[in-house]
Amino acid sequence: MRTNLFKQRQNRRYNYTPRYYKGKELDNPYELGSRFSQFRETTNSGDIASAWRQDRNNSRTRRNRGASKRLFIILLILVLIVLYILDFDLSIFRN
C-alpha cells in the first residue's frame, strides 16, 4: 500500500451533459450583463495609459462626499459621548 504524506488528493473530473440540453441560447432576455462592458467603446489606440486614465475619470462619482462628512460628524459625536461616559476630562477642548 502506497501512501502520499505531502501530496493532496486530486478531485475527480465529472462531465455531465443533461439529456435535453440544447446549448447556450444567444438571445436570452434575462441574461444580466456587465454595466461596464455594455457601454464600453473599444479603441485600438496604442496609448493605454491615457485610455485607462480617461475611463477612470469617467467612472468616478462625487455623490458620497456629503455622506462621508455626515459619517465623520456622527463618529466624532459618538467618541465624545464615550469619552464623557468614561469620565475623560473634556476641559482640554475648551478655552
- Which of 20-40 are b and which e, b meaning 16 or more Cβ less than 10 Å from the residue's Cβ? eeeeeeeeeeeeeeeeeeeee
- pLDDT-derived band at 89 (thresholds 50, 70, 90) equals confident
What letter would DSSP give residue 34?
P
Q: What's the pTM value of the predicted model, to 2 decimals?
A: 0.33
Domain boundaries, the chain: 66-95
Confidence of residue 74 (pLDDT cuts 50, 70, 90): very high
**50 contacts 56 by C-beta, under 8 angstroms:** no
pLDDT of amino acid 53: 86
Task: Place 87 in a pLDDT band, splitting at 50, 70 and 90.
Answer: confident
Q: How far apart are alpha carbons 2 and 31 in whole angstroms?
A: 49
